[in-house]
Amino acid sequence: MFSYTLPCGGFKTSTKLTETRISFDPPVYEQRYCLAIQILEDARWVNEIKKVTEFGCAEMRFFQLMRRIETIENILQFNS
């Protein structure tokens, strides 16, 4: 098992690895959302990124986070 602290929000993560399974807490998709939102809200990029494309958006969870960022003008979602 190993763990680390994510830079956004400072919450801890842990990864457990057994012979048959690997598990993540929080789930990897939540970690990915956290990092993506951190990038989109970063002062270096906030006025540069106007369009976002999300691939694999079946549950639209990430969309709910992105739509709150006022500087994003277009969100394209693609789900095959």
Q: Where are the domains of the chain?
A: 2-78
Nearest-Å Rg of the Cα atoms of the chain is: 15
CB 59 within 8 A of CB 33: no
- Tokens 């992105």 label which residue? 66
Please, what is the Cα angle at 76 between 33 and 37, to 5 degrees?
Answer: 20
pLDDT tens digit at each of 80 positions of the chain:
656 666 666 667 888 888 899 998 888 888 888 889 988 999 999 999 999 999 988 788 899 999 999 999 999 999 88
At 76, list the tokens. 């394209």
Sign for the CA dihedral angle at 12, 3, 62, 36 comes to positive
d(CA 7, CA 59): 25
What pLDDT score was predicted for residue 2?
59
